């Protein structure tokens, strides 16, 4: 007789949601996490919640009349959400075990507790949801990696050189900050620090910021960031960075080398999976570049061992982990489930202004031999955006010419991270521009811009 039906390793969004889905189906579930304050994982402790709290604070700081600081505001939100999450998980009869899990066999793990105690736990199924951590910049950043033991000055020291994890422990008050990387995390921190009146310089190795997004999104964000006073260096690399009293950085951009001093630097160059020291490879679980390989139902090559979230090679986002968790739990319970169509995932960057998108662009459609109609409108033509004094941005809707099917939508502007859900419904249900035109939108709202764009 095994101790549990299912043991889930890691209590981030992937892990706790899998545990919830399984407990709701009557399974006896144990959720293993390093220690209690890590429940909620990266999302709650260092990612989505503190990051969005900081952005909320910097954009509405005039509302916080009590003099509450940004970091304190974020901590309060994290702590009250963690309390609520723990109480929900307990009410769902999920058992917790604190410590570092390691596979002993395909049916057993050992959990090394914070005080050195060790406990062995067996189960019929295991779900690995150990997440990810910030990637440390190669030396030089964006360039070739130096051999191990290379110059220490490339390691974020948590004093003046930070990652998204340890910057939350600082007082977040820097006169001048260098942000390395202009992906989601880099763009959001750039907006936060600029909102707090820091002088912000962003260095991105690619030729445009947010290289994953549609070109028009990158171009508009670049222009809007610059208008707000953020300095952006694209096709740039950090050739040297020296920590001490502040930061001394040598930035190379094309043939020029720029030597600059900052009070702090933040490395936002991506994330790596937490899959070492898990004993996974020892029991034969296949990996690639540190990511656990799974099938479409998230089962690994080892029967009854599954993996979800940032530790597998899929978009590293909390809501993706939630969806994977639901599929994984259904699969463990022998239920039929829908696969994830990663092309139909909405994406958002909560910068100022924010950006959001879904589906395929006009260029991708053309590459696939699809003829498209593109509808475009600007936020400055929308009454709500104007009265909110947020006229920056655009909406671009890509439809298949023949059928009118909505293939994609790309937006920059106020609250587009909410508006994009209309397109999440449209794209995943193959709705057409005519379907959306039939729907009535309230005036004056930001959503009205969508019906106006399709008019």
Ligand X SMILES: Cc1cc2nc3c(=O)[nH]c(=O)nc-3n(C[C@H](O)[C@H](O)[C@H](O)COP(=O)(O)OP(=O)(O)OC[C@H]3O[C@@H](n4cnc5c(N)ncnc54)[C@H](O)[C@@H]3O)c2cc1C
What are the residues binding ligand X (CB under 6 A)? Answer: 9-15, 32-34, 38, 41-43, 46-48, 51, 100-101, 129-132, 164, 185, 274, 278, 309-310, 316-319, 321
Pick between residue 89 and residue 101 the one whose CB is nearest to ligand X: 101
Least distance in Å: CB of 255 to ligand X?
33
DSSP three-state, residue 436: helix
Pick between residue 103 and residue 222 the one whose CB is nearest to ligand X: 103
Least distance in Å: CB of 188 to ligand X?
7
Give the closest residue to 267 by CA, choosing from 89, 138, 413: 138
Least distance in Å: CB of 444 to ligand X?
28
Least distance in Å: CB of 125 to ligand X?
16
How crowded is the C-beta side of 16, counted as CA atoms within 13 Å?
24
| CB distance 183 to 142 below 8 Å | no
Strands, DSSP E only, in 48-88? none
Q: DSSP assignment, residue 143? A: S
Pick between residue 16 and residue 453 the one whose CB is nearest to ligand X: 16
Pick between residue 222 and residue 322 the one whose CB is nearest to ligand X: 322
H/E run at residue 221: helix 215-227
Least distance in Å: CB of 258 to ligand X?
27
Cβ neighbour number for residue 444 with a 10 Å cutoff: 12
How many angstroms separate the Cα of 83 from the Cα of each of 32, 36, 38, 42, 89? 17, 10, 12, 16, 10
Cα gap 19→165, rounded to integer Å: 25
Give the closest residue to 348 by CA, choosing from 19, 121, 52: 52
Least distance in Å: CB of 110 to ligand X?
10
Pick between residue 130 and residue 294 the one whose CB is nearest to ligand X: 130
Least distance in Å: CB of 454 to ligand X?
28
Contact partners, residue 87, CB within 8 Å, separation at least 6: none
Pick between residue 154 and residue 162 the one whose CB is nearest to ligand X: 162
H/E run at residue 406: strand 406-412
H/E run at residue 161: strand 161-162
Pick between residue 287 and residue 431 the one whose CB is nearest to ligand X: 287
């Amino acid at each position: 007789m095994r101790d549990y039906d299912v043991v889930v390793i890691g209590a981030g969004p992937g892990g706790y949601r899998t545990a919830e889905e399984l407990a709701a189906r009557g399974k006896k579930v144990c959720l293993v996490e390093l220690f209690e304050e890590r429940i909620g994982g990266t999302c709650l402790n260092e990612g989505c919640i503190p990051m969005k709290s900081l952005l909320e604070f910097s954009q509405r700081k005039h509302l916080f009349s009590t003099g509450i600081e940004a970091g304190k505001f974020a901590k309060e939100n994290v702590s009250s959400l963690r309390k609520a999450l723990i109480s929900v998980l307990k009410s769902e009869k999920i058992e917790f075990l604190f410590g570092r899990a390691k596979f002993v066999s395909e049916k057993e793990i050992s959990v090394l507790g914070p005080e050195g105690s060790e406990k062995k736990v067996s189960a019929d199924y295991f779900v690995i949801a150990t997440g990810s951590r910030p990637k440390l910049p190669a030396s030089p950043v964006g360039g070739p990696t130096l051999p191990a033991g290379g110059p220490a000055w490339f390691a974020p020291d948590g004093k003046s050189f930070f990652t998204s994890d340890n910057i939350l422990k600082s007082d977040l008050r820097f006169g001048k900050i260098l942000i390395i990387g202009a992906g989601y995390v880099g763009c959001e921190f750039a907006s936060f620090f600029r909102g707090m009146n820091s002088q912000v310089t962003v260095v991105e190795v690619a030729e445009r910021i947010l290289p994953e997004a549609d070109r028009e999104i990158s171009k508009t964000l670049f222009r809007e960031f610059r208008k707000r006073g953020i300095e952006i260096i694209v096709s740039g690399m950090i050739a040297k960075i020296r920590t001490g009293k502040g930061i001394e950085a040598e930035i190379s951009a094309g043939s020029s080398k720029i030597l600059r001093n900052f009070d702090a630097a933040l490395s936002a160059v991506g994330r790596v999976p937490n899959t070492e020291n898990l004993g996974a490879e020892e029991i034969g679980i296949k990996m690639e570049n540190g990511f656990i390989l799974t099938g479409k139902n998230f089962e690994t090559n080892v029967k009854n061992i599954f993996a979800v979230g940032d530790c597998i090679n899929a978009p590293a986002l909390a809501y993706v982990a939630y969806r994977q968790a639901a599929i994984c739990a259904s699969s463990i319970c022998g239920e039929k489930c829908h696969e994830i169509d990663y092309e139909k995932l909405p994406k958002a960057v909560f910068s100022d202004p924010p950006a959001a998108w879904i589906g395929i662009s006009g260029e991708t459609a053309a590459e696939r031999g699809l003829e498209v109609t593109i509808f475009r409108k600007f936020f400055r033509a929308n009454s709500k955006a104007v009265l909110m004094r947020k006229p920056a941005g655009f909406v671009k809707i890509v439809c298949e010419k023949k059928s009118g099917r909505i293939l994609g939508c790309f937006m920059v502007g106020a609250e587009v991270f909410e508006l994009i859900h209309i397109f999440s419904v449209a794209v995943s249900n193959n709705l057409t521009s005519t379907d959306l035109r039939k729907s009535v939108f309230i005036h004056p709202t930001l959503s009205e811009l969508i019906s106006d764009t399709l008019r």
